Amino acid sequence: MSKLKALFLSLAVGVVSSTVALADTHDPLPSWQDGASKASIVAFVEGVTRSESPDFVPVPERVATFDNDGTLWAEQPMYFQLFFAIDRVSALAAEHPEWKTEEPFASLLAGDIEAVLAGGLESVLEIVMASHAGMTTDEFEAIVTQWLSTATHPVTERPYTDMVYQPMLELLRYLRANEFKTYIVSGGGIEFMRPWTEEVYGIPPEQVVGSSIKTQFEMENGKPVLRRLPEINFIDDKEGKPVGIHSHIGRRPIFAAGNSDGDLQMLQYTAAGDGPRLMLYVHHTDAKREWAYDRDSHIGKLDKGLDVAQEGAWTVVDMARDWRRVFPAAD
């Protein structure tokens, strides 16, 4: 072999070795602090994806489900979809003079949100029905898209789609890089989420499971449309989440993430399956960069779920301790 050829081969081997070394040191979760939470995620993913591992899981069974509010994006001081509903009621108020004296609309239009929330689920549903129904599905998608393009969070003044958690975006990408199929399973409205989840999370609309109102097929000016009706179809929360998973996905997840008692049944359903499982709770402990809340919160209450997670040795992510960064932009 000539000296020139030998030198070329030596350089080539060096380049390959350097590339392998870089690949081996690549951190797929750079916004996560090194610690027990990150280690549990990496160990689980490596265990279920290596063919020689006793915990290996075939690709079709690698299903991961994520709650949305409080798990993938923020949810304080109240659910973002409720901000949307309030803005819609304000925009429609001129067409409904009766709202000036009817509750919960009168309190809402007067800016007394506490009075509205004091009316409980019944008041919230009345507002949602008034603001989410009566239009076609295409019209509703356009309304949601327009609102998200201009609306900002009342505390941070960020666009709502900038209030997503950078560590969770990395986790979604990490799972998909290892041939997981990632789904949203949320108590939020399925048609409120579908217009933007693919762009923000990389999760297409067919992989979004959520609460829904009834729709019906109509012919409108010779064109087929789906009309949104002011009636609840399905509530994808608490006991509804496993039902939604069974109905929409048809496979039990091997990975599930949530942040509240509303997600407990989804995590329990995941844990009850055979083979390796990872159940993850995001615990909101960071009052400086986000909000700190759990057992007594009016939004995203994490009480029984926290106890069950500790008893079952589930992964509980301490936001203040485990995340280097919270939102995509600098905190």
| Per-residue pLDDT band at 14 (split at 50, 70, 90) | very low
Select from 258, 317, 264 the least CA-distant residue to 286.
317
Helix, strand, or coil (residue 248): helix
Helix, strand, or coil (residue 110): coil
Question: What's the pLDDT score for residue 18?
Answer: 42
Q: What sections of 178-285 are H helices per DSSP?
A: 190-193, 197-201, 240-248, 264-271
- Mean pLDDT calculated for residue range 243-248: 98
51 has a pLDDT exceeding 50: yes
6 has a pLDDT exceeding 50: no
Q: What's CA 209's distance to the chain center, in Å?
A: 10
Q: Which residue has the higher pLDDT, 122 or 320?
A: 320
| Per-residue pLDDT band at 16 (split at 50, 70, 90) | very low
Distance CA 264, CA 309 (A): 9
Question: What's the pLDDT score for residue 118?
Answer: 86
Please state, for a pLDDT cut of 90, what percent of the chain lies above it: 87
Match 């489900």 to its residue by tokens.
Answer: 65
Helix, strand, or coil (residue 163): coil
Q: Tell me: the pLDDT tens digits for 302-323?
A: 999 999 999 999 999 999 999 9
Helix, strand, or coil (residue 246): helix
Question: What's the pLDDT score for residue 5?
Answer: 46
Question: What's the pLDDT score for residue 329?
Answer: 79
Most confident by average pLDDT, 20-24, 94-98, 327-331: 94-98
11 has a pLDDT exceeding 60: no
Question: What's the pLDDT score for residue 25?
Answer: 59
316 has which bridge partners? 281
Q: Which of 7-21, 42-56, 193-207, 283-297 has the lowest mean pLDDT?
A: 7-21
- Mean pLDDT calculated for residue range 146-167: 97
C-beta separation of 45 from 175 below 8 A: yes
Q: What sections of the chain are H helices per DSSP?
A: 3-25, 36-49, 80-92, 105-109, 113-118, 120-132, 137-150, 166-177, 190-193, 197-201, 240-248, 264-271, 304-311, 319-322
List the CATH code of the domain at 29-322: 3.40.50.1000
- φ and ψ of 257, to 5 deg: -130, 140
279 has a pLDDT exceeding 50: yes
Q: Tell me: the pLDDT tens digits for 60-80?
A: 999 999 999 999 999 999 999
